[in-house]
Amino acid sequence: MSSSPDPLAPRPALRPGARGGTARPAPVRLTSFHAQLQELRPGEQAGGARREARKKDEIVTVKVEMPKSMRKQLRMRAEEAGYSAEDAVYHLVRSWLQA
């Protein structure tokens, strides 16, 4: 498999359909930005920092309950666009908050 697609390269107009015989419009790529979590230094524990020393944009985990069928659709659509499901959700929430 190839790595993430070049964000500046033109996207294909059509892609093969799920059943192989039909062509469907290719999805638009979201952005070239990939969400990355900060790595802990060796010996550092999550939440061990003092309140004053915590950064303004602290990374948090959000748990969302959804039906398996919806999660599967999310994962498939994200992979078609070249993203992980987590990156796609990050972009969706970010764009919703910026609107």
Q: How far is CA 64 from CA 2, 42, 61, 89, 93, in A?
A: 30, 30, 10, 10, 12
Q: Kindly tell me if the per-residue pLDDT of 79 is higher than 70.
A: yes
pLDDT tens column, 57-72: 777 888 889 999 999 9
Helices 85-98 + 68-80 axis angle, to 10: 90
The model's pTM is 0.43
**Does 32 or 73 have the greater pLDDT score?**
73
pLDDT tens column, 37-56: 566 666 665 555 555 556 67
> Residue 52: what pLDDT?
55
